Structure 1
Amino acid sequence: MTDAKTTAARWRAALMAAVLVAGGGGYWLGQRDKNETVAGSATGDPGKILYYYDPMFPNQKFDQPGKSPFMDMQLVPKYADGSGANAASPGISVDASARQSLGIRVVAAEMGSLAATLDVTGTVDFNQRDVAIVQARSGGFVERVYRLAPGDVVRAGAPIADLQSPEWGGAQTEYLSVKRLGRPDLTAAARQRLRLMGMPEAVIAQVDRSGRTSGTMTVRAPIGGVIQTLGARAGVTLAAGQTLAEISGLGTVWLNAALPEAQAGAVQVGQRASAKLTAFPGETFAGRVVAILPTAAADSRTLTVRVELANSGGRLRPGMFASVALGGDTKPALLVPSEAVIRTGTRTIVMLEMGDGRYHPAQVETGREGGGKTEILRGLAAGEKVVASGQFLLDSEASLTGIAVRPLDNAK
């Protein structure tokens, strides 16, 4: 309890050392004599006291001077608006010694470059555009299945199953008979029939060379990747169009990143992106945004941004976690330090330096953030100076004295 009182007393002493001279609706913080006689303005003309208050608890008002019930210090008088020499220039006035005690730091708004980079997280998934479906082109049965199972990684051209199709044997016999007639037109028509039955060119060429029919065909993987489903089983009867296997390619993968909906406007299809995975420390994988899904997640209020990454060697495996940097082109912008921006929940303001130690709140509209800087879309002009340290105390006094915030429409 003693430490708390000591800390509070130190804060109070620091505040009492700062002499804040209000303009149209400000106040003096300084020493008061035992009769609470106060100099109200630069001309020495005392202002009318409205009430007394403790600056640490400004919402609590008192009719009489005395000690604060909250802190062991004297209450401070509150003067009516319009008194003093600076009434025509509303704002918060702070003398040089008080500015130094409060640590007020002023920075000019200036044009600069701000890259539209957002850091989000995501997970690796299969590229659903790189999928191959292996089907039976004609009715028959499975004669042999190679040693495969769902989840196995296969290369392009790897055998999956041997199929026996009686229909193919009959069509090949007819083709060889027509070929012996020596009629090129009829031979071409019979060959086209074999193609329409789904017979690969390699099988037709083999029949041409050997002159013998073969109703057996080896089904091979059209692409390299992971077997997702495998419906081929030895001895199973097949119908035309029946699916034997489904293969997902691994040449590229998708990275599904969760983007807060408030930042949806900062990301566009085609934008570059980079990913880092804990499995590969020190490496960065480059990609680009290929889609922004149209539905937002109701529980997390995020959008899914789909990034396509090259997957050399198949090292990126679906399910892996990654941190993603969504980067856009560097664009010129009016920038202020992010610490100078005060967000009240209903609007965003900054404290402007008006000159001669005077400060006034101004409403602004902000944009992107990055590197400790915030983009100002409306409400400020290049060269205007804003308070980057000590602005919250000035904003509290501006609210207490009822100083109107400069609206967006009145900005330079």
Structure 2
Amino acid sequence: MEQTVRETSGPSRPVDGCSTDWDPRCPEVLSDQIGAYDRMRETCPVAYSDYLGWSLFRHQDVLRVLGDHETFSNVVSRHPSVPNGMDPPEHTLYRRMIEPYFAPERIAAFEPDFRQIAHDLVASLGRTPSCDVIRDFAEPYAVRIQCSFLGWPQTLHAPLLQWIYKNRTATLARDSEATAAVALEFDGHIRSQLKLREQAGADAGDDLTTCLLRQTIDGHRLDHSQIVSILRNWTVGELGTIAACVGIILHFLAERPDVQSQLRQDRSQLPPAIDEILRLHGPLLSNRRVATRAVTIGGRTIEAGDRITVMWASANRDGAAFADAKQFHPERDQSHNLLYGTGIHVCPGAQLARMQLRIVLEELLDGLDPFALPARSPPVRATYPASGFSSLFLTPA
């Protein structure tokens, strides 16, 4: 069925006596988010909940929203978000400014540092790790490579790890006071780094954070609030999704010894395999938009001002977009894969993330003996807004 988007009027909420179509935080959903989203896509692909507003589960609906920034605005927060929470023409100006920070040659320069970080962390695990590889490997890896990329000191590693847990808890609870507190805490870390560089003046290192302090846009220097917003967007997304990606891939390889063996023998297969594994189990579950006018999607009326949640993790498993969608086919055409988004808000750091994941998987396959999942310590799934696993143990295969 073709999606229609038109001016319309009528009820925008369920009219069958229920106030919502589903509860994204109920135990049945949180116990297996990916499976729950699959069921919603088939039974109620445009669903309303008090928690997420309108959730869109089909690839075609998500693609439409991502491609129509005039009808579906990215300005979803009371707090400034540069440039993610902007629409054109403002978004265009800032997006053009940040893209050189993710130029191929700039990204490539970090590969030796990222590889050393991955190598050292893998070495600390031993050939047959008995620890929780999420807490003791994936999350530390995400924090350390991000600090390396931004030029932040090792003293921030532990505070940023703690911040991840606080932010995740506050977001799930929709606790506005806790969310504001953790946001302020994170902003404090950034502002302290800006202050150190300003005090150093010309002697400040030529790292990415210092470059942003010297950055101009439209003839003016960025102010601290703009820099904080840019770095918050980059870092919050990086810390959560990279750690989730590592856990998801390790879990998949532990369950699929045939794929693990193939990748050990031929590392050239890693890039397409990583993209396909993360299509099957998205590290980023959703993203927000707000309707600027009344529209109809999938037979449901969405009013101007209504919140919309695009469900990446469901869209990427839609059989209408991917043949044999729930099966692992790394050779498939990945052009419809929304892992890094699409349109004007496509992730500028997609190639950076791909490099970081390729490096860490190369080091893991080099440093670990063949592994499987232990029967006595089953993985613990992460819960919204996180994806992947909050705990994951491995055992020798």
So what's the TM-score if we normalise by structure 1? 0.17
Whose strand proportion is higher, 1 or 2?
1
Point out the structure with max Rg over C-alpha.
1
